[in-house]
Structure 1
Amino acid sequence: MNLVKIFRLTLAAALLTAGTLAATSAQAQAPLKIGYTDVQYVLSQMPESKQIESQLKTYNDQLAAQLKSKTTEFETKVKDYQQKSGTMTDIVKADTEKSLQNLQQSIQEFQQSAQQSLQQKQQTLLKPALDKLQKNIDDVANENGFTYVFNSDGGGSPLLLHAPKEGDISDLVLKKMGITPGAATPAPVIKAPAPAQSPAPAPAGKTKTKTKK
């Protein structure tokens, strides 16, 4: 899922919560004029979109590197335990197993917190672009006499199911921002940080072995 799609619902909610448009008193007396814009299409062409993707990828890579380091440490310690457990006393073995279990839990907690941190980073980076988009939608709507503007984003559940082409203000919004309208370019996929393989369960308890009689 690309950046634009990740935040499609956030964008729609932000635009509607802000009121999308505030009609002036003159417009209130004028005939109702409804417009729409494809938020995904507009946002994907804003220069900020590529910048956000780049910053998110860097942040994601940092989190993934930390997670890989923790996972490698865990796997190394498990392997060491498996090689030496036969010569360990019961007390040392129990202490080592507890340490491994704690490390495994720490990795799982880091995975969860890394996912939340990445989502928060996305929201923080996207807010200025959202604010800019909202302002330009407001400006274009006011200048062209639109009373309301809806989101026609084709993915998921669009807020507009049918409308005439002349009501589409997407290209007007882009031009307002100094962007030449063109085909939307899908943004790179940003994956949540995760190890290639989940760490194997830490050893727990004593292992009984049968002896030949």
Structure 2
Amino acid sequence: MRALTVLSVCLLLCLTGALAQTSEQKIGYFDQQHILENMPEFKKLNQEIVVKGEQYDKILKGKYEEFRLKSDALEKLAASKADAAILRDKAVELENLKKSYEDFEASSMNELRNYYASLFEPIKQKVNEAIIFAGRQKGYAFLLRMDLNPNGGDIWPVVLYAKDSTNNLTSDIMKNLGINAAAASTRKTGLPQVLQRK
């Protein structure tokens, strides 16, 4: 029993010491989406994706139009009771056009995803380094992201409450990235952001 009491006292002292330490540590937050939206590299990447997407759409529309015209021609041949060998040949040609359309659609989407991922990685790395630099420079023990991962996957922590806006390092990080920003994001953090939508 005495050993349990001594252990309880030691545990209580350790917890009290840990709580005292954490109460002195600064916690900051930032709006990563706001930072990305203002980065010239990110804007350029998004514009490149739009241009490439439009080019692929143009090719897909051309393939679809060719398929539609050949499909109409096949229907006319079938209605005019054309020879079976000709109908089979045109049907195979139509099937090949359909497959070509589907293959191009899948490969172009995959290429866009890979292109975006390869060019986004250095941008993400640059932002991460600026975040670490700003946190160390300002003496923060923890920095929390208040946004969702743009790549999908894991969900980053959401701040439920921020005492004031002095802990918002969005402007400092943007400054470290060489982005001219007059003020930080004005988006509300955590629960105020959720409640504002209703």
Q: Select the structure with the greater relative contact order (CA < 8 A; seq sep ≥ 6).
A: 1
Corresponding position: 1:59 with 2:62: no
Q: Is the partner of 1:36 in helix, strand or coil?
A: strand
- How many matched pairs? 158
Q: Deviations over 1:38-82 (max 9, x none)?
A: 001111111112211221122112211221221121112112212
Q: Deviations over 1:152-190 (max 9, x none)?
A: 1279975322223222111111112222224799xxxxx
Corresponding position: 1:123 with 2:117: yes
Residue identity opposite 2:167 in structure 1: G
The answer to whether the 8 Å contact 1:38/1:154 transfers is no
Corresponding position: 1:152 with 2:146: yes
From 34, 42, 47, give the equivalent of 2:27: 34
* In 2: Cα distance, 1:179 partner to 1:91 partner: 66
The answer to whether the 8 Å contact 1:150/1:160 transfers is yes
Q: Is the partner of 1:181 in helix, strand or coil?
A: coil
Corresponding position: 1:103 with 2:100: no
CA RMSD of aligned residues (A): 2.8
Which residue of 2 is the match for residue 181 of structure 1? 181
Residue identity opposite 2:52 in structure 1: Y
Corresponding position: 1:76 with 2:69: yes
* In 2: Cα distance, 1:162 partner to 1:30 partner: 16
Identity over aligned residues, as a percent? 25
Residue identity opposite 1:66 in structure 2: I
* In 1: Cα distance, 2:130 partner to 2:144 partner: 14
- Cα 1:154–1:92 change in 2 (3 A) is closer
**Structure 1 residue ranges (4+ consecutive) displaced by more than 3 angstroms after TM superposition:** 28-31, 154-158, 182-185
* In 2: Cα distance, 1:131 partner to 1:159 partner: 21
Q: Is the partner of 2:51 in helix, strand or coil?
A: helix
- Structure 1 unaligned spans of 5+: 1-27, 186-213
TM-score (norm 2): 0.69
The answer to whether the 8 Å contact 1:151/1:159 transfers is yes
- Structure 2 unaligned spans of 5+: 1-20, 150-154, 186-198
Which residue of 1 is the match for residue 169 of structure 2? 169
TM-score (norm 1): 0.65
